[in-house]
Chains A and B, each alone.
Chain A
C-alpha cells in the first residue's frame, strides 16, 4: 500500500508566550515543530506500510524551512518527502491549500491511502483534510481512531463520534483524518535520524504541479482576514488567599451571593 501523509509545520505553542501588555505572541519563543496530531498520521502511515509493504510519502506545503518537519517524518519511518513550495502559494486559506495539495498529490500519484492529522494546532480548522478529499473526489473518513482492516480494495475504520464510534467501510483510495487515540507515535531511531539527515527532499512549485494560478495563494482564497485584534482579557476578577478555611469560606460566600449555588 502506498500512503501519502500530509503534515504541517506549526509554531511550537508549548513555548509560545504571550506578552501580557500587548496580548500578542512573543516572537522569539515561537519556533516551529511538526503539528502534534500529524505525528499520529505519520505513525499510522508507517504502520500500514510495515503491514502491507509499500511506501510512505510525506508532503507539506510551506516555505523552504518547512523542510525540517519532513525530515522529522523521515526519521520516524517515512520513505520519501515532498515540499510544495512557491511564493505564489502565500496567503492561502484552507480552500486554496486543499486545492494546492490536491494538485501536488495528483502529481505524486499512485496512492492508496492519504492520511492527515485531525487538525493543525495553529488554525484548529480541521478543514484541509476533507477539502483535499473533495478536490480529489475520493471518499474520506474523519476522526479515525482505529483501522480495523485494510486490503488493496477496501478499508474498515472506526470513526470517533461524540457518543461512541461508527464503523465505516470505504473503497480505496481514501483519505483519513486521524485522532490521538489511533496509536502512540514512535521515537526516531538513531538510524532514522541518519537517514533523515541525508534524505533528498523533492520540491514542487506552482508550475510543476500545474495549478490554476487563480485558485492558489491569496488570490485563490475566498476567505480574507478583514482585521485581527486582541481579545479583551480580564486579568483576574478576584483573588482569595490566606488560611485554607478562610479562603474556602470567603469563596463559598461569594458564590452564594452571586446566586451560582442556587442554580
Chain B
C-alpha cells in the first residue's frame, strides 16, 4: 500500500544519479547499517515521493524497483469504444477549443480505428450539430432541454454521466475552459475514472489502447506522461490553441442522435440568476494573436501607453506581469501567469519582464517569444526566440518607427 518505489540495497552503488533525476527532491544518500560504512546508498523519502518513476529510468544499476499495484476497481475496457469531444457552447456559441479537439480527436479515433463523436448540451442548440460534423465528428449526441439554457454544474454533470454510462466511450476530451475545468472533475468523480488536466499532446498505445496524456508539471519545468490504464473512459482536458482547428468539410455526412433526458429527474440544485457581460473583457487576452506585455521594468503606469502603441501595430493587446498589476499599472484582467491568465498567442513580446517561472508558465505555448530587457542574463532573455538587449523606452519607439515605415511603403 502507498509508496511502491524501492531501492534494492544489494544493487545500489551509491552513484547518486537518481538524486539528480528526482523532480521532487525525495531521494537522499545515507549510510546503511550492515553495509560497507564508507558508502552511502540511496534512500527514498516516502513523504516526498510521488511515485513518478523518474529515478527508475535514470538508475543505471537497475537498483530501483517500481511495483505498480493495479486497483481492483478496474473496469472491463473492452466494453468501451469511441472518442468523444465535449462540444462546449456558451450563449449558443461553440467554443473555439471544440474544433481543435475535434481535429486531434479525429487523429486518435483513426489510430484506434473507431469513431469520433461530439456531445452537445444546451437549449435550442441543435443547429450547431452539422458544424461539428463538418469538422470531423461522425456522430453528435444532442442533449436539449430548457434546463441546459445556462451552464450549471449539476444538470450538465448528470446528463453527461448518464450519456457516458449508456454509450461507454473510451476517451473523453474536454476543453480546459472555465466550464470544462469546473464540471469535468465532477464527472470523473461521479464515474470514478481518471482525469488529466491541461494536456499538451496525446499518443495512443495500440496494444493496450491506452491514451498517453502528456502535460506540464511543476510550472512546465517537467513534462509528465500520464496513463489511465485500468479505468474507462480516459478523460482529459486541453487548453485553447494547443491544437490546430479541424479543417471544415461542408455538408459532411454524420449522424445526429437526440439523447432524451427527463429534466424532472435530473440533479439540479443550483439556480442560474443572470449573466453580466464584462465590458473589460473586451481585452480578451486569451484569444489574442499578439500580446505585448509589460513587467516591473516598465517602471510606471504611463509606460503601458507605449506598449499599447506597439500592440496596435500588430492588432494585438496589452498584457502585464503580476508585478505590474500589483503596482497598479494595469488591471487584473491583463495579468498573465500562474495567478493570472494562460495565453497562447502567435507572438508574445515581453517588455521589462525578467521571466520568473510564475510568469513563464502562462506563456509557454506561445509560438514566438520576443524579450526586450536591459538585463541580458534574465531568464526571459535566455529563453526568448528573439532577445533584444537595451532600454525598452529607447528600443520600442524605434521599432514602432521602423514598422510604420515598412507599412507605409
Contact = CB atoms under 8 A, between A and B. Distances in A.
Interface of A: 11, 13-14, 16, 18, 20, 22-25, 27, 30, 36-37, 63-65, 87-91, 93-95, 98-99, 121-135, 139-143, 156, 158-171, 180-181, 213-215, 217-231, 233-242, 244-245, 247-249, 251-252, 254-256, 260-261, 263
B14 interface: no
B25 A95 contact: no
Of A23, A123, A224, A239, chain B has the most CB atoms within 10 Å of the CB of: A224
A25 B221 contact: yes
B185 interface: yes
B192 A260 contact: no
Contacts of A135: 189
A interface SS class = mixed
B228 interface: yes
A222 B153 CA distance: 23
A223 B51 contact: no
13 contacts: A130-B186, A140-B153, A163-B90, A163-B91, A163-B277, A169-B271, A214-B73, A228-B52, A229-B225, A248-B388, A251-B370, A261-B403, A263-B346
A238 B387 contact: yes
A13 B219 contact: yes
A120 B317 CA distance: 28
Contacts of B258: none
Given A238-B386, A239-B389, A245 B398 contact: yes
B402 A219 contact: no
A91 B391 CA distance: 48
B154 interface: yes
Given A87-B3, A95-B189, A122-B218, A240 B386 contact: yes
B271 A168 contact: yes
B273 A168 contact: yes
B157 interface: yes
B51 A139 contact: no
B284 interface: yes
Of B51, B72, B230, chain A has the most CB atoms within 10 Å of the CB of: B51
Given A130-B189, A222-B71, A247-B398, A217 B157 contact: no
Nearest to A239: B387
Contact of B153 (A130, A160, A214, A227): A130
Contacts of B178: 142-143, 159-162
A240 B373 CA distance: 11
Given A91-B51, A142-B182, A223-B226, A134 B357 contact: no
A169 B381 CA distance: 47
A84 to B, nearest CB: 14
B216 A25 contact: no
A123 B24 CA distance: 13
Nearest to A232: B223
B332 A131 contact: no
A87 B219 CA distance: 26
Given A25-B218, A218-B51, A236 B188 contact: no
A222 B399 contact: no
Contacts of B230: 222
B128 interface: no
A185 B268 CA distance: 33
Given A164-B281, A166-B274, A260-B368, A241 B376 contact: yes
B382 A235 contact: yes
A91 B50 contact: yes
A227 B226 CA distance: 7
B286 interface: yes
A200 B143 CA distance: 51
Contacts of A22: 20
B186 A214 contact: no
Contacts of B190: 134
Given A25-B23, A224-B227, A261-B406, A156 B276 contact: no
A228 B185 contact: no
B221 A256 contact: no
B90 A161 contact: yes
Contacts of A221: 71, 194
Contacts of A234: 383, 385
Nearest to A155: B270
B376 A239 contact: yes
Interface string B146-180: 00001111100100000000000000000001110
Contacts of B186: 130-131, 133-134, 140
Contacts of A222: 71, 73, 192-194, 228, 230-231
B57 A124 contact: no
A16 B358 CA distance: 10
A173 to B, nearest CB: 10
A157 B166 CA distance: 34
A245 B402 CA distance: 9
B275 A164 contact: yes
Contacts of B193: 95, 222
B306 interface: no
